[in-house]
């Protein structure tokens, strides 16, 4: 981008020129008038490292090469990866369909059958047609004259055998005046006279000798009767066997034609053929389900009712091409619970009981994405109990096991379904930010085992004419996808400039596209309000202003406190040991800067610099490190031959919360030097930057917000033309300031200065020369450094004199 143009100022400081405060986008050479033309849809721009990783992960076949996509957490990143993968699999074959069917041997272990793509629904429909046909064919076969004649013949044969078994016995007992009687209790013998059974009353009236003879005769004939009776169950069994054989033969004849026709439709699928043979055997064994008469509507109710007599012949289509479409699937799951991930077995309440069967096996996203790509957000995955270990186990075993959580945890001992596992061939793509990825990798060693490919997306890209064109085309693609009105060239340029502001770098463009998308949608709303046909630069600028206003409540309250002199900030005059530091705050996605008064007081002491923030535990470790660096700077620059005899206290005035970061260390050092040199510093300047032990001013973050925060205070009190902000020279490339600040700088009413060392900063703030040591090692008279060194030497001499006086006085008595 444009180089830095500066004008000389006292010392090593530089006042930035206007073109250095903001770098405009230029799409004049790009053939785009609005986002409606031309039709480009590139979503992954300038990401060669991430794109190479995606290609490897998408195309390599070896196990474990799943993909971890790491970068700014955003919808855009997921959409970009999804779009790329969909393009990658467009011409690739569609994975197999899967169905579950009844296991006629072990009903609690449903069988999984793999079918060629697009065949599952045909199999399901064919089986339903088969059952409907058999509901007609089987009753017809059993109602036929042929079947009835065979059944009558069996009855007649059995009856004749029974008659034959009793005929000979009946004749023999009749010769001895005994009759065979049949009662509900069985068979018995009774005396006869003249061919008729003697009634009990008459039998009792017989002479005793006659009764004894009859009873003896009956006793002699009872064994023969028992022998004849014992033959009857065998004859009845033979009758039932004959009926069963007849029923099987009839069912076989009725079923075989339908089954054989169905088998012809699936002759290329051995698993289906075996299942149809199992159905044939079960139909023959359970033909009564079809033959038994049912009330009107009972058959349909039985079909619909879970556990009905025809359930066992249904087909449960788990996944099919009709459901997930042609080609390898690319599926994103936003709620990866255990059931949504691996599937589940559902239950229905019927007649006070929870029942289930293979028809209630439901597919999970692993089933639907099998053979393709599954996209998951890691944070959502980890927030669901058991989902992360279950996913790793599935990838390790390379199969999908539908687990009942209550059984696996030992909470239930009831019998439930154990569906066949389904082989798993999938590429899992996990999305997360870098912090979460690093955290998980450190805690879980299995991450590298299952996710060997890292696609690391950059947060931003280098800003060039080419990358501006690429991003503008991506914005155009996004605008068409969102259905917002066209964005003209000026609107695109303003969005690109906003992208640099988000990246906090003139030479970068952010790739956090969610924020760019939100801005475009809001600009579309304001363009509609203004009745604009296209989104212009004015609409985008207005949307940016509105976003800033919506989130500046806390910022406004802090500034109001300064305006009303509740929080003390000077923007004019000079004060000794006092400087305006700059801080930045981020609340709910809104960042703003604000000045903070930093003061310092010094006196002779033991060489200790007191950070009051740290002493009261309001300062964070980085802030404390910055203050400790000040001690190293003083010890290495001043009064090198004398002990450090200083006591200094530094504080952020009216700061009641935590302080973190070292971006105020340069301001703290300037306050310390001012207090030591007894030189006042200008209060119409604010300073930001960190400092090292050598006195170099280093870059900090949030430089735009910090400048804007001090500028707003100065505007409220009235711009004098002398006010400005001092920043590290390395931060000049990060400036993308508001248009009102640029206008004020252009008119000479405000300035932004860069410094590279603490000497540059102190010269700007005091108007005095910092001073360099001469060949004799002395700083020039009147310089700030000379005054500081003389003060430190004086402190040391005072302490030495004090120690001598104490020594001469001796110990107190």
pLDDT in tens, 142-188: 888 888 888 888 878 877 776 666 665 666 676 677 776 666 666 67
Q: What pLDDT does residue 303 have?
A: 46
CB 552 within 8 A of CB 511: no
**Bond from prior residue into 38 cis (ω within 30 degrees of 0):** yes
Residues with active-site annotation: 663, 706
Distance (Å, rounded) from C-alpha 312 to C-alpha 34?
61
Q: What pLDDT does residue 496 have?
A: 95
Q: What pLDDT does residue 807 have?
A: 75
Neighbours of 648 (CB within 10 A): 24
Distance (Å, rounded) from C-alpha 110 to C-alpha 764?
83
Classify residue 209 as exposed, middle or buried by CB count within 10 Å of its CB (0-12, 13-18, 19+): exposed
Where do the DSSP E strands lie in 108-177? 111-115
Q: Which helix (H) or strand (E) holds 349?
A: strand 348-350
| Main-chain phi, psi angles of 452, to 5 degrees | -85, -10
Distance (Å, rounded) from C-alpha 499 to C-alpha 244?
83
- Altogether, the residues listed in the chain come to a count of 813
Which of 613, 477, 488 has the alpha carbon at shortest distance from 538? 488
Distance (Å, rounded) from C-alpha 116 to C-alpha 562?
74
Domains in the chain with CATH codes: 44-95+327-458 (3.40.50.300), 460-544 (1.10.8.60), 557-766+782-798 (3.30.230.10)
CB 113 within 8 A of CB 98: yes
Neighbours of 675 (CB within 10 A): 23
Considering the entire predicted model, what is its pTM? Answer: 0.78
Q: What pLDDT does residue 595 have?
A: 93
Classify residue 644 as exposed, middle or buried by CB count within 10 Å of its CB (0-12, 13-18, 19+): middle
Q: What pLDDT does residue 56 have?
A: 94
Residue 93, sorted as left (phi over 0), alpha (psi -120 to 50) or beta, turns out to be beta
Q: What pLDDT does residue 305 have?
A: 52
Q: What pLDDT does residue 28 have?
A: 85
Neighbours of 599 (CB within 10 A): 19
Where do the DSSP E strands lie in 476-632? 508-510, 574-576, 578-587, 590-603, 608-611
pLDDT by residue (tens digit) across 456-479?
Answer: 988 888 999 988 888 888 888 888
Classify residue 640 as exposed, middle or buried by CB count within 10 Å of its CB (0-12, 13-18, 19+): exposed
Q: Which residues of the chain have pLDDT under 50?
A: 1-11, 38-42, 295-304, 813
């Amino acid at each position: 981008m444009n180089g830095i143009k500066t004008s000389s100022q006292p010392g090593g400081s530089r006042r930035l020129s206007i073109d250095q405060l903001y770098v405009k986008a230029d799409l004049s050479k790009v053939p785009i008038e609005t986002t409606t033309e031309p039709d480009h849809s590139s979503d992954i721009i300038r990401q060669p490292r991430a794109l190479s990783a995606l290609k490897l992960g998408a195309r390599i076949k070896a196990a474990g090469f799943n993909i971890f996509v790491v970068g700014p957490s955003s919808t855009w990143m997921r959409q970009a990866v999804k779009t790329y993968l969909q393009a990658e699999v467009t011409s690739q074959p569609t994975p197999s369909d899967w169905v579950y069917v009844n296991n006629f041997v072990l009903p609690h272990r449903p069988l999984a059958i793999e079918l060629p793509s697009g065949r599952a629904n045909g199999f399901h429909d064919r089986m339903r047609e088969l059952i409907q046909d058999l509901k007609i064919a089987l009753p017809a076969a059993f109602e036929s004259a042929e079947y009835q004649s065979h059944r009558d013949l069996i009855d007649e044969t059995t009856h004749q055998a029974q008659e034959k078994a009793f005929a000979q016995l009946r004749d023999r007992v009749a010769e001895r005046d005994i009759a065979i009687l049949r009662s509900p209790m069985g068979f018995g013998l009774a005396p006869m006279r003249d061919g008729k059974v003697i009634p009990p009353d008459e039998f009792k009236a017989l002479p005793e000798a006659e009764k004894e003879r009859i009873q003896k005769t009956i006793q002699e004939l009872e064994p023969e009767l028992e022998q004849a009776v014992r033959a009857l169950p065998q004859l009845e069994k033979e009758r039932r066997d004959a009926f069963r054989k007849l029923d099987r033969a009839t069912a076989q004849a009725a079923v075989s034609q339908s089954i054989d026709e169905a088998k012809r439709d699936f002759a290329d699928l051995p698993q289906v053929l075996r299942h149809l043979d199992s159905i044939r055997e079960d139909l023959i064994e359970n033909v009564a389900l079809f033959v038994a008469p049912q009330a009107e509507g009972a058959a349909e109710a039985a079909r619909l009712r879970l556990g009905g007599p025809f359930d066992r012949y249904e087909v449960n289509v788990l996944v099919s091409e009709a459901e997930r479409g042609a080609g390898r699937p690319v599926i994103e799951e936003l709620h990866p619970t255990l059931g949504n991930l691996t599937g589940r077995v559902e239950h229905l309440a019927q007649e006070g009981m929870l029942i289930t069967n293979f028809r209630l096996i439901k597919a999970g996203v692993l089933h639907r994405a099998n053979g393709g790509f599954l996209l998951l957000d890691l944070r959502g995955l980890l927030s669901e109990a058991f989902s992360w270990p279950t996913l790793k186990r599935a990838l390790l075993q390379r199969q999908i096991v539908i687990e009942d959580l209550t059984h696996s945890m030992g909470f239930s001992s009831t019998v439930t379904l154990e569906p066949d596992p389904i082989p798993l061939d999938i590429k899992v793509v996990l999305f997360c930010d870098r912090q979460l990825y690093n955290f998980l990798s450190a805690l879980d060693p299995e991450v590298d085992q299952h996710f060997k490919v890292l696609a690391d997306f950059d947060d931003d890209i280098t800003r060039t004419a080419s990358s501006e064109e690429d991003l503008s085309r991506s914005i155009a693609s996004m605008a068409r996808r969102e259905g917002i009105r066209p964005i003209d060239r000026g609107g695109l340029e303003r969005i690109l400039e906003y992208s640099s502001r988000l990246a906090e770098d003139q030479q970068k463009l952010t790739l956090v596209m969610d924020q760019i998308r939100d801005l475009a949608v809001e600009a579309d709303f304001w363009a509609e309000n203004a009745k604009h046909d296209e989104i212009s630069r004015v609409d985008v600028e207005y949307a940016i202003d509105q976003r800033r206003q919506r989130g500046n409540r806390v910022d406004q309250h802090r500034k109001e406190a300064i305006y009303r002199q509740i929080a003390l900030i000077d923007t004019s005059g000079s004060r000794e040991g006092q400087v305006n530091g700059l801080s930045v705050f981020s609340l709910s996605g809104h960042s703003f800067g604000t000045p903070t008064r930093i003061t310092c007081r010094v006196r002779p002491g033991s060489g200790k610099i007191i950070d009051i923030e740290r002493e009261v535990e309001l300062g964070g470790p980085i802030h404390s490190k910055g203050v400790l660096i000040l001690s190293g700077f003083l010890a290495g620059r001043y009064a090198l031959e004398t002990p450090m005899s200083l006591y200094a206290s530094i504080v952020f005035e009216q700061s009641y919360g935590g302080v973190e970061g070292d971006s105020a260390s340069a301001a703290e050092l300037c306050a310390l030097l001012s207090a030591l040199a007894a030189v006042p510093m200008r209060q119409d300047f604010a300073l930001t930057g960190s400092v090292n032990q050598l006195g170099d001013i280093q870059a900090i973050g949030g430089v735009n917000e910090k400048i804007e925060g001090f500028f707003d205070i100065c505007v409220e009190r009235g711009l004098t033309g002398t006010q400005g902000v001092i920043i590290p020279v390395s931060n000049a490339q990060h400036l993308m300031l508001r248009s009102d600040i640029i206008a004020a700088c252009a008119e000479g009413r405000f300035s932004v200065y860069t410094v590279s060392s603490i000497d540059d900063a102190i010269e700007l703030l005091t108007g005095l020369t910092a001073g360099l040591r001469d060949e004799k090692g002395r700083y020039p008279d009147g310089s700030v450094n000379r005054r500081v060194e003389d003060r430190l030497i004086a402190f040391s001499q005072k302490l030495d004199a004090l120690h001598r006086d104490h020594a001469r006085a001796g110990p107190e008595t």
